[in-house]
Amino acid sequence: MSKRENISTSVIKRLPRYYRFLNGLNRDGVVRISSRELSIRMGLTASQIRQDLNCFGGFGQQGYGYNVEQLFKEIGHILGLQNLHKTILIGAGNMGRALASHIDFEHHGFHVVGVFDKKESMAGQMVHGMPVRLMSGLEDFCRNNHPEIAILCTPDEAAEQLVPVLLKLGVMGYWNFTHYDIVAKHPDTAVQNVHLEDNLMRLSYQVSALKNNDMKRANI
């Protein structure tokens, strides 16, 4: 399916953005687009776009460019969005519940089949159209339903204890909202970390730097 074996993470990182832009163009009724035109819209170089796409195959046509709808679907397929990976949400606190109602899992390759929390008071409450289950039932649930993905919205210490258990139960993909470093301890997993605080600290750096520059400019 894929042309090359190992695609660099730099390329993978850009794929979702291509997907979003092409979705927009497609909805706007744009039929064809050249790498140059797309590069201007996205703020990239045309070279980079052609290099990126050619990691996966020759989707364009000389003298014409790329068919928007076809390319959109191709990238969706490369990203594996046609899948519906069985997914469990662990931790139904503020963040967990917000994700459950905010994210369109089904259009991004996932299907949430269970929600868990350790709090007795949460048990039975409805989240994402299903009742919250207690953590004590997690292992049985996994043995019966074979989820492949876990969304971790627990405290860091809980994640540390959970991951080895989940791995044994066959869960190999993790959307990790904790700061527990899954990949370091368990290399054979698929992990995306969402470190919101790290992101916020980078914003702090940027804003502070921006202010420093303003002050320097004022001095000159």
What's the distance, CA 133 to chain centroid?
Answer: 25
State the binding partner of 35 from a copy of itself, DNA, none, CB within 5 to 8 A by kind. DNA
From 60, 61, 74, 96, select the one nearest 22 (Cα to Cα).
74
State the binding partner of 209 from a copy of itself, DNA, none, CB within 5 to 8 A by kind. a copy of itself
Q: Which is nearer to DNA, 64 or 124 (CB)?
A: 64
Which of residues 1, 28, 29, 62 is near DNA by CB under 7 A?
A: 62
Q: Is 36 in the site for a copy of itself (CB under 8 A)?
A: no
**Does residue 118 contact residue 134 with C-beta atoms inside 8 Å?**
yes
Residues whose CB falls within 8 Å of the CB of residue 111, separated by 6 or more in sequence, listed in order: 84, 85, 86, 87, 105
Task: Give least dist CB 8 to DNA, A.
Answer: 3
Q: Is 17 in the site for a copy of itself (CB under 8 A)?
A: yes
H or E segment at 33?
strand 32-33
Which of residues 64, 192, 202, 214 is near DNA by CB under 7 A?
A: 64
**Does residue 118 contact residue 158 with C-beta atoms inside 8 Å?**
yes
Which of residues 15, 22, 26, 66 is near DNA by CB under 7 A?
A: 66
DSSP E strands in 73-213: the ranges are 85-90, 110-117, 126-127, 130-134, 149-152, 173-176, 190-193
Report residue 171 as tokens.
């869960």
Q: Under rule CB under 7 A, which residues in 119-138 are in contact with DNA?
A: none
State the binding partner of 40 from DNA, a copy of itself, none, CB within 5 to 8 A by kind. none
Q: Which residues would be at the binding site for a copy of itself (CB under 8 A)?
A: 1, 12-13, 15-17, 19-20, 43, 78-81, 83, 85, 93-95, 97-99, 101-105, 108-110, 148-149, 172-175, 179, 181, 184, 190-192, 194-210, 212
